[in-house]
Amino acid sequence: MPRHPNEALFEGEKMYPILPTCEHFAGTEVRVLKAFELQGKMGGVFDITMDLEDGAPTGAEREHAEMYARLLQSDENEYHMAGVRIHDFTNEHWKQDVDIIVNAAADKVAYLTIPKSTRYEQAAEMIEYIQETAIKAGSSREIPVHVLMETHGALHDVWKIAGLPALQVLDFGLMDFVSAHHGSIPAEGMRSPMQFEHVLIRRAKGEVVSAALAHGVVPAHNVTLELKDPDVIYGDAKRAHTEFGFQRQWSIYPAQIEPITKAMAPEAPQIQLSCDILLKAYEADWGPIQHDGDLHDRATYRFYWEQLQRARLSGVEIDPKATELFFD
């Protein structure tokens, strides 16, 4: 019997992480619970980032972190697809955030997000502390880490940061990035079309994506300020994906989740082509095949297998036979 594609196509290599294409931010208990409810209705096609930083109230940092630790362990966290954005390196609460979340929920938190690093050494120290805390908590799991690229220093060190251990995602933070330019990028740079056209923003986005992909890390695009118009939201996510190569985008409002997920998912013809090629390859025990006059081997199979996994994770219906062989 032919092997599963994960075994046949990688043979000991580190596989590229296939993650949900949407990451939804929520900063209060009510909003997190609503996100859990929506996650259940949509079938777990997006991650939830519980926010201890910019999107959270100030003045009760310990209580807020403890509340997230409780939610991570609750029955509402059905899919275990919830992470936490902690405070930045310069904030006195960041180690407290890690201590509370990791000691209580090291095996439940999907990832921790590090914001506003200004140099490689800050991100490296924070990641080291996260993993050491997990070990002390008795967890054998390496906790995935996401790092926000939103400062001049982080962009300068992006290729070093992208190679850090446990790194799963590089997030581009547009609003802080624009603010850090002190008016050299106008306010219009925080939204479309300028967020895709201003030379300084294009350069930054291109560097983040290039560094991430070179190190097997997922590049994630910034928020869209438009909250309700699905065409605008879809258009921003589609442009981020097709023009820049981002594979994931933030959401800050429930109505953004579906259009982001649709825009980032492979399109129907690509999904069917992936199924057709992979099913033929499976029957050939992953040897070379011809399909519609083109030659395919394991080099192309890897591409189509990632496409199919991404489609499945986005809730897109795929060929029943491919589902049975590769996912059931």
Using the structure block, give the residue that is written with the tokens 């409780």.
70
Torsion of CA 142, 146, 152, 155, to 10 degrees: 80
**3-state DSSP percent of the chain in helix, strand and coil, to 5:** 50, 15, 40
Report domain 22-264's class: alpha beta
Beta strand 289-291 pairing with 294-296:
antiparallel
The reported pLDDT for the residue numbered 11 is: 81
Bridge partners, residue 261, by sequence = none
* 3-state SS assignment for residue 229: coil
Residues facing 248 on adjacent strands: 220
DSSP bridge partners of 172: 149
Q: How confident is the model at residue 242 (pLDDT cuts 50, 70, 90)?
A: very high
Q: Which residues of 209-221 are buried (b: 16+ CB within 10 A; e: fewer)?
A: bbbbbebebbbbb
Mean pLDDT confidence for 31-52: 96
Task: Indicate the range of 52-66, 93-107, 169-183 predicted with least confidence.
Answer: 52-66
Decide: 191 and 225 in contact? Cβ < 8 Å.
yes
Note the maximum CA span of the chain: 64
Q: Per-residue confidence at 256, pLDDT binned at 50, 70, 90?
A: very high
179-194: average pLDDT: 96
Distance CA 24, CA 32 (A): 9
- The string of pLDDT tens digits covering residues 269-322 is 999 999 999 999 999 999 999 999 999 999 999 999 999 999 999 999 899 999
Domain boundaries, the chain: 22-264, 267-326
Residue 12's pLDDT is: 76
Q: Which pLDDT does position 328 carry in this prediction?
A: 86
Q: For residues 286 and 274, give the distance between their C-alpha atoms in angstroms, rounded to a whole number.
A: 14
Mean pLDDT score across all residues of the chain: 95
* Residues 9, 301 contacting (CB under 8 angstroms): yes
Residue 108's pLDDT band (cuts 50, 70, 90): very high
Quick one: what percent of the chain has pLDDT higher than 70? 100
Q: pLDDT tier at 262 (50, 70, 90 boundaries)?
A: very high
Identify any residues that bridge with 48 across adjacent strands, giving them in sequence order: 24, 82
294-311 core/surface letters (b: 16 or more CB in 10 A; e: else): eebebebbbebbbbbbbb
> What secondary structure letter does DSSP report for 184?
S
Q: What size, in residues, is the chain?
A: 328
Q: Which residues pair with 49 in a beta bridge?
A: 25, 83
Mean pLDDT of 154-175: 97
| Geometric angle at alpha carbon 294, from 291 and 299, rounded to 5° | 95
- As a whole number of angstroms, the distance between CA 150 and CA 108 comes to 27
